[in-house]
A and B are shown apart, each in its own frame.
Chain A
Amino acid sequence: MKKLTAILAATTCLSSAALADDDRIIVGFATAETGFMQAYDKPAQDAAMIRIAEINEAGGLLGKPIEVVKADTKTDRAEGAKAGLSVIDQGADMVVVSCDYDFGAPAALAAESNGLISFFLCAESIKAGIQGVGPNSFSASVLAAVQGATMAEWAYNKKEARTFYRLLDTWTEYNKGICDGFDWMLPQLPEAKLVGEDTFLNEDASIAAQITRIKSLPEEPDAIMLCTMMPGAVSAIKQLRAAGINSMILNGSGVDGSYWLSAVPDLSNFYVPVQGSIYGDDPNPAVNEFNAKYTEVTGAPPATQYTYPGYVMIDVWAKAVERAGTTETSAVVAELEKMVDEPTLFGPRTFTSELHHQNRARYLIVETNNGKPGVVDEWTISSPIPVADLMK
């Protein structure tokens, strides 16, 4: 009897998958609808839904409407694998997985073993792609290392920063990624000097000892490269400023957003790289239009730049499907890998057969001055970070 049910189940899956190819294209979201990751997956997913709606309004993809199926990973790795299989069973042609590598990988691996394309919503580790999942996996965001490298090169060239201090929060791979990019860039800047370095932990109640080390330097450094993320970032920034350290603070994109600025009133000399501006001042008017549309659909404007990769993801995937003329995995992957500086709303994107992630990207630089963030510049690192350096 059990066997019969299994066979029945298998055939229904097959038939629904077969049906799917005929008249519609299905995008499967195996993302967190509940639990810790929900707050991070939802904005990017909403942005993806906006792009899907736009494509459908314009007549669909290959003349077929895009439909969406979902399964909740419940912010649980074991549930993630199940959620991946669930959307595949529902006929997904492409599987979208959680923002974070660790939480998204189980569903991405399920897609990989079923020969389907998977896209991480906004993971910024090199593992979110070929290196960690397999040849059909992509990430819609930019590598964390690019953020650190961008900030170092920009501050050196545009802010005349010469002395740098490196403060790493060892909690996540993302944090280490930012500092790795910074470490890669610094020796290429002829007059730049690392005057000190230290580590802390995101959950540290106090970073007083680390601050004491900075204060005991003969001179305050020009810039502090702060490789951390929420929630410890706010705490670190607040404590640095409370101790009277006024150096320029350089960060990764993880601290973008104005929602936390109330914790550090009148914060100044604070710089963040972003893919697009949520502050209504993006140099590209289309981004501001997107923000308006996002506000209309979800009831609130984007809280951070991590909303945007969801839009980019559907955009580049749909282009590849259109060019391939099919949703068949190998054809779409081949088209994606042909993309070199493919224009998107949030900067050009490149995929190669070696890297399904961005090791170079245009970033807008957001400065926070007197508690007010705004775009002041844009920067693209002078050369892409070699894959070998990213794998360290």
Chain B
Amino acid sequence: MGGLMQVIFDALSLGSLYALGALGIALIFGVMRLVNFAHGDVIAFCVFALLWPSVDAVAIIFAGNLPWFLLIPFTLAVGAGLSVLSEVVVFRRFRRANPATMMIASFALGFVIRYFLLMLFSSRPKSISLLPGLSQPVEILGARIPLLQLITILVTIAVLIGLTAFLRRTRFGLEMRAAAENFTMARMLGVRANRVIMGAFALSGALAAAIALILGSQTGTANIMMGASVMLMAFIATVIGGMGSLAGAVIAGFALGAIATVMQVILPPDARAFRDAFVYGAVILVLIFRPQGLLAARGTKERV
């Protein structure tokens, strides 16, 4: 029983990370059909924002020393700020460009952010003890898991509930959903496009910051490439979930986390090194049977 619970917690905590990432990508895709590949670099930037720029091997902790009740809002603000800035400076100019052009622009922006970090911090991974209190093991339902895993799951659930309430109960949320469904129509009906898009970018950036906090405290490392693997999984989750569908992205994120964890458990040792091949194999299967994704967003359906 304890063993099974352990696996469930492992799957949920990894899935949470992917779900948060997928949500960040799906939010922006929903309002402007942009697959933001700079998302992973925003994650890395948020972790590095806690350090003082230096190329020394030993990290100089700066904002990372703040108490948690200041640290968390600070990081979320950095993520949201950088994300909004990237919309104002870069993506706004591509509003009328086709999605492929915007995607390339997002790649370019990602490189700019990454090399900016490389310039300030060098390629050497930096160590940072973030929220060290979360590294304690706790006993729950017969499973012994790090406190952080539990917090990750709870935070993700809270974010999902909060976001759902925001999208369903507030005027801004309604505008955002309307824009996701049919952007042109929403604009004609008086939805202010820039405000909605900036809101989506801010939310997406804050979600990136949340991932940064979780990854930072889990791995204890700031690395300029650290967002890349989560970004890849999150992007795949948005595709499986159905591009633009927020609920689909979250479900697919959790599903990917569960598949990766279960594969690690059931594969024989020699095959475990190729775990990701099995995970991506499952992705291909899903796309063969449901090319539009698990939950296709209404706005993206072919209307022929």
Choose from A209, A238, A265 the contact partner of B265 (Cβ within 8 Å).
Answer: A209
Q: How large is the interface on A (under 10, 10 to 19, 20 to 34, 35 or more residues)?
A: 35 or more
Shortest C-beta distance, B294 to chain A (Å), equals 22
**Residues of B close to A230: CB separation below 8 A:** 124-125, 221
Asked if B223 is at the interface of the complex by the 8 Å CB criterion, the answer is: yes
**A242-B137, A242-B148, A243-B146 given; A208·B276 CB < 8 A:** no
Interface string of B217-259 (1 = CB under 8 A from A): 0111101011011100000000000000000000000000000
User: Across the interface, which residues of B come within 8 angstroms of A265, CB to CB?
Assistant: 129, 132
CA distance in complex: A170, B269 (Å): 12
Task: Check A235 for interface membership: any CB of B closer than 8 A.
Answer: yes
**Interface residues on chain B, number (Cβ under 8 Å):** 51
Contact (Cβ within 8 A) B229 A231: no
Whether B14 lies near A205 (C-beta < 8 A) is: yes
Chain A, residue nearest B64 (CB): A262
B-contact bits for A222-253, CB 8 A (1 contact / 0 none): 00000000111011001101111000000000
Q: Counting CB contacts under 8 A, is A206 at the interface?
A: yes
Beta-carbon contact of A231 and B221 below 8 Å: yes
Residue of A nearest to B124 (CB): A39
A contact residues around B264 at 8 Å (CB): 198, 209-210, 213
Q: Which residue of B lies closest to A231 (CB)?
A: B125
Q: Is the CB of B295 closer than 8 A to any CB of chain A? A: no
| Shortest distance between the CB of B272 and any CB in chain A (Å) | 5
Closest to A210 in B: B264
| A residues near B137, Cβ cutoff 8 Å | 242-244
CA distance A41 to B148 in the complex (A): 36
Nearest-neighbor residue (CB-CB) of B55 within chain A: A39
Q: Which residues of chain A come closer than 8 Å to B55, judged between CB atoms?
A: 39
The 8 A CB mask of B80-120 against A (1 = contact, 0 = none) is 00000000000000000000000000000000000000100
**B192 interface contact, C-beta 8 A:** no
On whether the beta carbons of B219 and A238 are closer than 8 Å, the reply is yes
Determine the distance from Cα of A210 to Cα of B272 in the docked complex, in whole angstroms: 10
- Which has the most chain A C-beta neighbours within 10 Å: B17, B125, B132, B228? B125
* Cβ contacts under 8 Å, B219 to chain A: 205, 231-232, 234-235, 238-239, 263
With A36-B123, A198-B272, A209-B261 already in contact, the answer to whether A231 and B6 are too (CB < 8 A) is: no
Measured between C-beta atoms, what is the minimum distance from B113 to chain A in Å?
16
A390 at the interface (CB under 8 A from B): no
Interface contact A209-B7, CB-CB below 8 Å: yes
Q: Choose among B6, B56, B127 the residue that contacts A212 (Cβ–Cβ < 8 A).
A: B6
B128 at interface by CB-CB < 8 Å: yes
Say yes or no for B13: interface residue by CB 8 A criterion: yes
Q: CA separation between A363 and B270, bound complex, in Å? A: 31
Give the complex CA separation of A39 and B148 in angstroms: 31
Bound CA span A244–B58, Å:
26
Q: Known contacts being A206-B10, A231-B221, A260-B221, is A38 close to B261, with CB within 8 Å?
A: no
Asked if B292 lies at the interface with its beta carbon under 8 angstroms from chain A, I say: no
9 residue pairs of the A-B complex, CB under 8 angstroms, read: A39-B55, A197-B269, A208-B14, A215-B6, A215-B144, A216-B3, A242-B146, A262-B128, A303-B58
Residues of B in contact with A (beta carbons under 8 Å apart): 3, 6-7, 9-10, 13-14, 17, 55-59, 61, 118, 122-125, 127-129, 132, 135-137, 144-146, 148-149, 215, 218-221, 223, 225-226, 228-230, 260-261, 264-265, 269, 272-273, 275-276
Given contacts A206-B149, A234-B220, 11 further A-B contacts (CB under 8 A): A205-B218, A208-B261, A230-B124, A231-B125, A231-B223, A234-B221, A238-B218, A242-B137, A257-B57, A259-B57, A262-B59
Give the interface of A toward B (CB within 8 A): 35-39, 168, 170, 197-199, 201, 203-206, 208-210, 212-213, 215-216, 230-232, 234-235, 238-239, 241-244, 257-265, 300, 303-304
Q: Which 4 A-B pairs have the closest CB atoms?
A: A263-B220, A231-B125, A235-B219, A303-B57
